[in-house]
Amino acid sequence: MLTSADPDSILIQGPRIVDPGRGMDAIGDILITGGKIVSAGPRLSPADLPEGCRPIPANGMVAAPGFIDLHCHLREPGYEYKETIATGTRAAARGGFTSICCMPNTDPPLDNEAAVALVQQRARAEGVVRVFPIGCVTKGRRGKELAELEELAAAGVVAYSDDGDPVYDPNLMRLALTYTLDLGLPISNHCQEHRLCPGGVMAEGWAATRLGLPGIPAAAEEAMIARDLALAELTGGWLHLAHLSTAGAVALVRQARERGVSVTTEVCPHHLSLTDDWALGYQGTPDGGSGPLNYDTSTKVYPPLRGRQDVDALIEGLADGVIDCIATDHAPHEAASKQVTYQEAAFGISVFETALGSLMALVHRGQISLSTLVDRLTVGPARVLGPSFEELATLHPGSPADVVLFDPDLDWVVDTGEFASKGRNTPLEGVALKGRVVTTFVEGKVVHQDSLY
Amino acid sequence: MVSPEAAEIRATPPIPEAIPDFAPDGKLRRNVLDLDDFSAAEILSVLDGTAAMGEVLRRDIKKVPTLRGRVVVTLFYEPSTRTRISFEEAGKVLSADVINMSTSGSSVEKGESLLNTGLTLQAMGVDVIVIRHPHSGAPYLLARHLPRVCVINAGDGLHAHPTQALLDLYTIREKVGRLQNVKVVIVGDVLHSRVARSALWGLTQAGARVTLCGPTTLLPLDLLNCGDERDEGHPFAQVEVNTDLDRAIEDADVVMALRLQSERQSGGFLPSLREYIRRWQVTESRLERAKPGALVMHPGPMNEGVEISTGIAHGGHSVIEEQVTNGVAVRMALLYRLCAQPSAEKLETAG
């Protein structure tokens, strides 16, 4: 193990190493050399260390494989006023994400090789984490004809999605699932039966009725999930369900899994922690339940924030593995698109930089274990992305040194003024979280170092 | 309490002395957004103020100098006749300068956002913005971002129409003599009615008993089921729902018919107008089941022959015209309440 003097060697000393891919959860050391993991396990003696190796004390911290995000919006090309690859990847790094998959609802959309290549080039030139584009299912995201899916696969997309909109035509969805059988990539669908929620802007229920806002019933999501599960069963195609938000959706997936349907799923941090009544604006206020209605547009997101029972069912599904992974659906927006009426406001939350803090609440409350949480942020998404991503989801010696170091117990208050993301649109502004990313490494290089440390 | 100048003008018989300046609990009010933040006492004090303003409206010369030098802008993003004119008249009777801003022909047509329009009006020194907007919550957006302007909601989306509800409460109190324990049946498209929603807050707060009646597709059942159970703490725990108008109307003191928009049929909420009329029109024969002398109300504009029969609309039970008259007085009382408050510093603390 002893190597010659290497100025690029880093020793992360004494963290709790949580590496679910190897079933590891123990205090130890991590030695990184030349951008690769040399060792991540028991404490090393000084004799084992290369000369000139830089020590990073990490007592009390958690070290884990860098997080992988299956679902984010980097907005470039076309919406650089909302986010760019440069700012979006820095926000990801601040959130502990080292690999992110960006959705193709850009302008132009990523429905051809050249558009995909542009994103890849920009990511190499300006990004600080690994960026994997997702390609469109249909040309122009118009839902009429399939995009050139093999060309997109050859260009390096990791999945297909018309995210922002569903693949609405059931026959086209069937054909997409069938055509991709030999391409080995999933179709990620944004499930929303628009006709069940005309004008809908938040979850149907007490809060929406109280605010006089058109609701989106759970059935709008569940009806299309049920359709897609039937189509996946019919075709044998690989269906990935984006951002589950309802208890009924979890139940549908659970049943489909039992029948052996080839389906993978994700859930977003906000659907695991926030409820629809946050739109009233009572949270975070001193009196917590009175005062004028807020119509907090930062809570407007698709799928909408829902009720406590849905949140509980999603946490349960995440804990028992019916839900494979956590994906951020990081959806940054410029301030003006949220400083309007709730009905006019854009859908989406800027999630990267609050993801870990809000997810750690589940661990602190004992709803999931730390290693399950890390699994759903690493091994889970890597499984959806395929075998070539396995090494990005583990600290196994020889793998690229994509590592996140976080303080699981640090109390901090969200201040969007500190965000690297251009999108300050989060209902968590001013909210206290416990758990914060300290350092993020991509291939052994520090891409984020928290200012508090 | 008012500026020395205004106090001087008071010497010419101004508004009656009976008008209370402040909320009874001493809390100043900056905005009127909905009735959900009005206590019963505050509602009653507004109604007392309304009675005094009604006296001004019955004078030969309907003009008092009370709000001289105040600027009121009506900012309407939706068509309106009665509400807008009612506010305009209320402001002018009180000698405020009333400016009507309509969205066509203004910067709104050039794509100016609501917030920027509001900031512009604030910069011009406007005292009160009366806003109607098709989106729920639009007045809240202005209220949150305009610290130097009072905002009155003249109807926002499906959400609220507090001045209409107050004039309804006033009309009921004037005609029935009280609000406590008065049985009010609200019939029709409650789901899409901001009038009904604000009335629900005001009526329940004032102790009236409310029954909602209409097609199940047009009732806001989620509003009544907070969470999964109707606990006692729920503001609408005592509100009843009965889709059978013949039953719902029994012993009613007040029947409030709501406007049925024709697009409800094309939207699939109703099989046909014919079936709606058969089941939910307020008719002479149905009204016989209510208390003798029961009031019939309608927020207007009416579809005679749909939600209300022509005979009832113009018959002896109808107080629909009184509602309109009282609307001016209610809006005078509210404008006075917001504008004639003491000092800007104190307003700051009112939140």
| pLDDT of A367 above 60 | yes
Binary contact (A295, B37; C-beta < 8 A): no
Q: Which residue in the set B31, B137, B222 is minimally distant from A295, CB to CB?
A: B137
Predicted local confidence at residue B267, as pLDDT: 85
| pLDDT of B226 above 80 | no
A2-36: pLDDT as tens digits = 444 456 899 999 999 999 999 999 999 999 999 99
A209-265: pLDDT as tens digits = 999 999 999 999 999 999 999 999 999 999 999 999 999 999 999 999 999 999 999
pLDDT category at B203 given cuts 50, 70, 90 is very high
B4-160+326-346 and B162-315 in the same fold: yes
Binary contact (A213, B137; C-beta < 8 A): yes
A116-136: pLDDT as tens digits = 999 999 999 999 999 999 999
Domains of chain A: 65-393 (3.20.20.140)
* B151 neighbourhood in chain A, CB within 8 Å: none
DSSP secondary structure string for all residues of B315-343? STTB-HHHHHHHHHHHHHHHHHHHHS-S-
ipTM of the complex: 0.90
CA distance A239 to A261: 9
Q: Where are the alpha helices (DSSP H) in A236-271?
A: 247-258
**For residue B44, what is the DSSP state?**
H
pLDDT category at B83 given cuts 50, 70, 90 is very high
Parse chain B into domains and list their residue ranges. 4-160+326-346, 162-315
Predicted local confidence at residue B23, as pLDDT: 53
Binary contact (B225, A341; C-beta < 8 A): no
Overall fold of domain B162-315 = Rossmann fold (3.40.50)
Predicted local confidence at residue A47, as pLDDT: 86
Full 3-state SS string of A136-172: CCEHHHCCCCECCHHHHHHHCCCCEECCCCCCCCHHH
Predicted local confidence at residue B2, as pLDDT: 53
| pLDDT of B228 above 60 | no
Predicted local confidence at residue B111, as pLDDT: 81
pLDDT category at A291 given cuts 50, 70, 90 is low
Predicted local confidence at residue B350, as pLDDT: 44
Binary contact (B141, A294; C-beta < 8 A): no
The residue with greater pLDDT, B81 or B99, is B99
B255 to chain A, closest Cα gap in Å: 23
Give this prediction's pTM.
0.92
B113-169: pLDDT as tens digits = 999 999 999 999 999 999 999 999 999 999 999 999 999 999 999 999 999 999 999
Q: Please check whether residue A296 is in contact with residue A281, taking contact to mean a CB–CB distance below 8 angstroms.
A: yes
| Mean pLDDT of the region B205-229 | 84
| pLDDT of A285 above 50 | no
Share of chain A above pLDDT 90, in %: 92
pLDDT category at B233 given cuts 50, 70, 90 is low
Predicted local confidence at residue A287, as pLDDT: 42
| Mean pLDDT of the region A35-43 | 96
Query: Is A441 in CB contact (< 8 Å) with chain B?
Result: no
pLDDT category at B9 given cuts 50, 70, 90 is very low
Domain B4-160+326-346 CATH (choose: 3.40.50.1370, 3.40.50.11740, 3.40.50.720, 3.90.226.10) = 3.40.50.1370
Q: How many contacts, defined by CB atoms under 8 Å, are there between A and B?
A: 72
Task: Give the type of residue at A30.
Answer: I
Residue showing tokens 């969007």: A416
pLDDT category at B351 given cuts 50, 70, 90 is very low
